[in-house]
A = this chain, B = another copy of it.
């Protein structure tokens, strides 16, 4: 193949989708339809099924001529040599999923990277510089509650020790490090951009939102990612009998938590931000005991850091006022006032608003227009979800490619992107990497 011909390269949609569905046999989740592929995924980071998916990734990329580099966070960098030695341009994403997630979030990005390697092999293409595919560990933050934690360590934004010591949610004893050891993916290479520098990082991902579908467009050129912060709020009241404790004598941690969650949603509306609680535990956990302690997660997001700052300030002030018995927003109207409670906050992770690199954005736009043949099918976007590209972008030029999500649904077994849309995205990824390689 001649220089420049790469623009005519086509990925093999059937082959890519077959591989994608075949590795969804590792950690298959809830069934939602009758077809064989109509299930979700439940492949938590560093679980047995994640190990199976990793083993497959290592075997497959090795067979495609890649060298494997495993770092201390279990990030796997598969690198295919180029004409010259130098920094590799990477396609990256993740193979872990939500406890009740879908077949596309993260997985599509890795499988499109592997399809890129296959196309290069098929056509005996030597790239200028090395190209690679990276599988980042625990992107979801579902099992170990910092999302993108391993690209964060690679970027030296999150200390290795903090990441290694992260405990799984739900009170289990396993840590990131103990699970890396258990499944044999604790690498010896330091987890750092200094040990594994990248020329650039491109990530194909499903949009996970409704915009492309609603606008009948095919490719999102992602300019950046909104800001978000995760907190754990602990409400401390007093255990008491549900039948003998007058309403006025209660310090009911569940009742206060209910008011706080209701109020967080109001503040999100006021600030044009987002807030949600996906984890909540109470103790002691008995039908006839008013819980003395409730802990809940709070995920707060907005396009601008300043908005998240303002949300955080308002949440902290209003939560404290509600705990003290002030009638914020009329939430206590018609209620018997109880005893004051205490609230403590823990910040679990901070992901500031991110802007991607102009060169990468340009490479993606050019590739998207070329692949779709129609500028009208391509739009600029900001990501609502976090991605490893957030941390990658701190240490190398980065951008992302989005493809449509049916009904905008994600973090749900019914997550779906058509094979045709997956293929368009994979082709844009391939072209973006090759364009960047020639730059």
Name A's B-contacting residues (CB within 8 A). Answer: 98-101, 140-142, 145, 147, 169-170, 207-210, 226, 228, 230, 238-247, 249-250, 252, 254-255, 257-262, 265-266, 268-270, 274, 276-280, 282-292, 297, 299, 301, 329-331, 333-336, 348, 383-386, 408-413
Contact = CB atoms under 8 A, between A and B. Distances in A.
The 6 closest A-B pairs by CB, nearest first: A244-B384, A100-B284, A258-B261, A209-B244, A208-B244, A242-B276
Count copies of this chain in the complex.
2
A278 B288 contact: yes
Contacts of A249: 210, 408
Contacts of A386: 243
A101 to B, nearest CB: 8
A142 B299 contact: no
B334 A266 contact: yes
Given A289-B142, A299-B288, A266 B228 contact: no
Nearest to A286: B142
Given A244-B408, A280-B282, A266 B208 contact: no
Contacts of A226: 243
B278 A240 contact: no
11 contacts: A98-B284, A100-B239, A141-B288, A147-B287, A169-B287, A209-B245, A238-B409, A244-B383, A254-B278, A254-B280, A258-B261
A243 B386 CA distance: 8
A241 B385 contact: yes
Given A254-B280, A255-B262, A269-B336, A286 B140 contact: yes
Nearest to A291: B278
A239 B411 contact: yes
B265 A262 contact: no
